[in-house]
Chain A
Amino acid sequence: MASGAISNAVIEPPRNGALLRALNVARSYRLGEALIHAVHDVSLDIRGGEFVALLGSSGSGKSTLLNLLAGLDTPTAGAIHVGGKNLAELDPEGLARYRRDTVGMVFQSFNLLPRMTLEENVELPLRLAEVDRSERQARVGEALERVRLGARKQHRPSELSGGEQQRGALARALVNRPAILFADEPTGNLDSVNGEQILLLLQEIQNSMGMTVVMVTHERPLAERFASRIVMLSDGRLVG
C-alpha cells in the first residue's frame, strides 16, 4: 500500500486500545489581523466500536475537531494518530486516501450531488476507490437496503424527503465499509421524528458492523440517548 494510505484492513490500535488518538491538537485561522483558535490543545482517545458524541454550543470547535479527525483539515499543532499513522504528516494525496478508505462522512445538509440519482450518489465512493465494476451494483444495493431505500434508488435528491436524503447520505458513507463514521450534526436539518430515526439507524449499523462513530451535535438529549461517551467542548477546549 502506498505511503500514507490507511485502510480498515491495516488499522492496528495503539497499545492502549485507542483506534483514534488526538494529542494536543490545535487549529488556528487568521482572520484579518486576528488569530482565531478554533481548537486549542485537545487530546482525545477513541476506541474501536465506540459511539462518541462531540457536544458543544455553536462555535465551540466541535465541527473543526471533527474535520481534523476525518482528515478534511490539517491541525496547526499536535498529532492525530489513526492506526499508527499521524494524519498531520500525510500529504494531500495521503489524506484523500485516508478519507476514501477509512472514513465515512455524513453532513448536516446531506450533500448529495443533485444531478445524480440516489444510486449514482451511493456509487460515487466506489468509483473513487476504483472498486471493480462487477462488485459495485451489489455493494450499492446492500448499502441502500441497510438504510431501507432500495426502492428509491432511481430518484434524484430533489425527489426525496429530508429524512430520505440523510439516509441516502448514510448509505453513501457506508458503501466503502469504513472503519470510522463521522457525522456532523446529522439531525440538524431534520425534524425530531426523522432525526431520531436517523440516529436509530446509525446505532443499528454501528452495532451490526462494529463501526466506530463520532458524531457532532448540540442536542444533549440525543447525545445522551445514543452515544456511549460524550465529549464536551467549549471555546475550542475540552471541558469536563
Chain B
Amino acid sequence: MKGRDLTELAVRNLREAVLRNSLTTLGVAVGVASLVAMLSLGVGLQALASQRLNKSGLFDAVFVTARRGRGMGGPGGGPERASAPNPAGKREVAKPLDEGSRQEFAKLADVTEVYPQIRFFTDVKYGGASFSTNVLGLPESSRATGSFDGMTGKYFSSPTAEEAILQAEFAKELTAEPATLVGKELVLRYAQRNETSAADIAKEKDIDKQMDEMMSGAISIVTREKKLRIAGITDADPSAGVGGFGGGRVFVPLRTAEALHVAQPNDVQDFVRAGGSNKPTYMALTVRVKSPKDVTRVEEAIKKMGYSTFSLLDATRSLRLVFTVFDLFLGLFGSLALTVASLGIINTLVMAILERRREIGVLKALGATDRDVRSLFFAEAGAMGLFGGIFGVALGWLIGQTLTWGTTIYLKRQDLPGVKISHVPWWLAGGAIAFAVVVSLVAGLYPAARAAKLNPVEALRYE
C-alpha cells in the first residue's frame, strides 16, 4: 500500500474510535509536555545565566596587567626583581602597560574593545560637605551590560560628557532623597599626575636639579578639582569584581576619566622601573573579545607579548558542565511520563486488534500483505505520537510560560525585575516531537506484529 493510502486509512481509523484514541494521544501529549517543560526550564535557566554572565563582561574579556617581579606588592615584600626568567633562561624586561600596548592589543583578531582600568580615590564635594570615595571610569560598552537598567536618571549623554552616575548607597550619603540629585552638580577633588616637560625643566634654575630631571624625567602629583553633572543614580553593586563595574561608587565616562590624568597606584613603580620615563602607564587593561570562545587565543597572544593575563573562561566551562548534567536529569525525569504514555499506546492498539480482528481478516482476504497490516498499525501508532507530540510541545510551552509568569509576579513583589526562565528553542520542539513519534512507533511494534500474524480464516470467523 502506498504511503498516502496508509496515512489516510490510519487517520480514518483513529477518527472512528475518537474518544479512546484521543485519550491515548492526550497521554502522549502530557508525557511530551512534561519533557518539554522540564527541558525548557533547563534551557531557559542556562540562557538566563549565560546572558547575565555575558552581559557582566566577565566571560568575554581578558584582563591584562604588566608582568611584575616577585616581592613587590605581595605580603611581606622582598627584594624586587626587574624581570622573571623565561624557559630559555634569559631574563626578560617587564613591559609596561601603556598606550602602545593598548593599540597592539586592539589590533589582535576578534578584539572588539581595549580599555584601561581607571579607578581612583577622590573627595566628592556636595552641598558644602565632603565625602571620600572611589571613582571608576566606565567604557561605552558598559551601557549594554544591563547593569544600569532601571537606574534613576539616564546613562551618560556622550563618551566624553562631564557627568557622573552615583551608586545608590553613596547617593544616600549625600542626601536622604537620592533621586533629587539628578541634574545637580558635584565637584571631584582628585590627584592628577603631571609630567614635567622639557620647557619646565629648562625653567628650573638649579642646574644640578635640571641635570637630574633631564636624565630621569619627572612626574608630579597635584590636586585638581572637576565639576560634574549628576546624570543618574544606579543600584549597580560596587563589589561586582574584577573586570566588572565594581570598585567604584561614582562612575564617570572612561574618556572623561582619562582626560583627568589621574595618578594611579602603579605610577611610581612604573616610573622607577622605566628609568624615569614619564610616559603614562596603565594599572590594567581590559581586552574584550567577540565571544567567549575567542578568549583563549587572545589571552595566549597577549601572554606572548610579555604581559600577565587573567580570564574567567574556565568558570564558564564548569558552568556548562553543570547545566548539561542538569538538563540530562531534567530530561530523564520528563521522559518518565512519556514512557508511561507509550504503555497507553500499546494498550490502545492491542484493544484495537481485538475489536478489529474481523476487519484485519477482510483486509487480508482482499490481498493485504502482512507488511500492509503491520504498516497500518505502525501508522496509527505514529500518528498518535505525532499529534500527541505537537500538542505536547504546545502544552509544554504553555506550562513554561505559566511558570515564567508566576516567577515574574513573585520577583516583582520582591522589587526585582522579571526574568524569562523557560525557553523552547526549535531544536527542543522538533526533538520532542521526533522522540514522541519514535517512542510511539516502538510501542506499536508488538501490536503491529500481532495484527500482521493473524490468520485470515480465523479472523474472518471472529464475532
A contact set with B: CB distance below 8 Å:
67, 70, 72-73, 92-93, 96-97, 99-101, 103, 105, 107, 111, 113, 115-116, 124-125, 127-130, 172, 176
The answer to whether B367 touches A113, judged by C-beta atoms less than 8 angstroms apart, is no
Q: Are B369 and A111 in contact (CB under 8 A)?
A: no
- Per a CB cutoff under 8 Å, which of A92, A99, A115 touches B366? A99
B interface list, Cβ under 8 A from A: 1-2, 5, 9, 12-13, 16, 358-359, 361-372, 456-457, 460
Contacts of A128 in B (CB 8 A): 1, 363, 366-368, 372
Top 10 A-B pairs ranked by shortest CB distance? A100-B367, A96-B369, A127-B5, A99-B367, A115-B16, A111-B362, A128-B367, A125-B366, A73-B457, A72-B456
Whether the pair B366, A93 counts as a contact (CB closer than 8 A) is no
The residues of B that contact A129 with a CB separation of less than 8 Å are: 367
| 17 sampled A-B residue pairs with Cβ under 8 A | A67-B457, A70-B365, A72-B456, A93-B371, A99-B364, A99-B366, A107-B460, A111-B358, A111-B362, A113-B362, A115-B16, A127-B2, A127-B9, A128-B1, A128-B366, A128-B372, A176-B367
Besides A100-B366, A128-B363, 17 other A-B contacts (C-beta < 8 A)? A70-B365, A72-B364, A73-B457, A96-B372, A99-B366, A101-B367, A103-B367, A107-B365, A111-B358, A111-B361, A111-B365, A115-B12, A115-B16, A116-B12, A125-B366, A127-B9, A128-B367
A125 nearest CB across to chain B (Å): 5
Chain B binding surface SS class: helix
**Which residue of B is nearest A132, CB measured?**
B2
Chain B residues whose C-beta falls within 8 Å of the C-beta of A96 in the assembled complex: 364, 367-370, 372
Question: Known contacts A127-B9, A128-B1: does B367 contact A111 (CB below 8 Å)?
Answer: no
Contacts of A67 in B (CB 8 A): 457
Give the chain B neighbours of A115 by CB distance below 8 A: 12-13, 16
- Which of A67, A70, A113, A125 has the most C-beta atoms of chain B within 10 angstroms of its own C-beta? A113
Whole-angstrom distance between the Cβ of B201 and the nearest chain A Cβ:
100
Chain A residues closer than 8 Å to B362, beta-carbon distance = 111, 113
Q: In the assembled complex, how far is the CB of residue B356 from the closest CB belonging to chain A, in whole angstroms? A: 9
Bound together, the chains give a CA A113 to CA B361 distance in angstroms of 11
* B residues in contact with A130, CB < 8 Å: 1-2, 5
Could you tell me the distance between the alpha carbons of A176 and B365 in the complex, rounded to whole angstroms? 13
Which of B13, B361, B456 has most chain A Cβ within 10 Å?
A: B456
